[in-house]
């Protein structure tokens, strides 16, 4: 199978995962704005709570220009070049949106290649989606494409067994 065919299968898999995974509880990444950024990622609720606590601790009020504030929260709020691993809220472990760097994509790919994917739960669907999204965001060499392709075949086979052929067509609007 040539590279273009492999890429097509990988993109097809990303498409299926995007339509299958439930992103409704996934929030954009928030963090405490500089200079109080502690390197942690939060959901909006936890970030607001942390900022409030911090301002209380620092005795800073609404009128203080150097008060701590909630930063981030926009679509694609992300560290430059992508994340190394899936992002969760550091406080409540809620799911956050992220995209993976090249090395993060391959690390996740190898993790899933050694994981039993007979049953794929909703969290795993989201994490798998980000592997294939990471693939489409960047360039990978032949060996890496081979591994991501291998993963896409495993995922497609597992999802295919779970859903009947009709619902697969439905998903793809065929
Ligand atoms: Zn949270």
Domain boundaries, the chain: 3-25+98-171, 30-73
**pLDDT-derived band at 49, boundaries 50, 70, 90:** very high
pLDDT of 15: 92
pLDDT of 166: 61
pLDDT of 82: 85
Ligand 1 centre distance from Cα of residue 132 (Å): 26
- How does DSSP classify residue 62? T
* Cβ pair 32, 50 in contact under 8 A: yes
> For residues 61 and 67, what is the distance between their CA atoms, to the nearest angstrom?
7
Ligand 1 centre distance from Cα of residue 92 (Å): 4
Ligand 1 centre distance from Cα of residue 48 (Å): 9
Q: How many helices (H) and strands (E) does the chain have?
A: 6, 2
pLDDT of 173: 58
Ligand 1 centre distance from Cα of residue 140 (Å): 33
Ligand 1 centre distance from Cα of residue 90 (Å): 7
């Amino acid at each position: 199978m040539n590279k273009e065919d492999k890429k097509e299968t990988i993109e097809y898999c990303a498409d299926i995962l995007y339509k299958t995974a439930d992103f409704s509880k996934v929030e954009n990444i928030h963090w405490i704005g500089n200079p109080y950024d502690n390197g942690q990622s939060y959901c909006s609720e936890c970030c607001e709570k942390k900022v409030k606590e911090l301002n209380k601790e620092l005795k800073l009020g609404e009128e203080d220009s150097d008060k701590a504030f909630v930063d981030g929260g926009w679509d694609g709020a992300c560290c430059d070049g992508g994340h190394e691993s899936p992002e969760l809220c550091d406080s409540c472990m809620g799911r956050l949106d992220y995209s993976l760097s090249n090395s993060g994509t391959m690390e996740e790919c190898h993790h899933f290649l050694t994981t039993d994917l007979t049953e794929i739960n909703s969290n795993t669907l989201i994490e798998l989606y980000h592997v294939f999204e990471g693939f489409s965001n960047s360039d990978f060499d032949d060996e890496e494409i081979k591994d991501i392709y291998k993963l896409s075949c495993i995922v497609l086979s597992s999802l295919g067994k779970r859903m009947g052929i009709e619902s697969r067509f439905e998903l793809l609007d065929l």
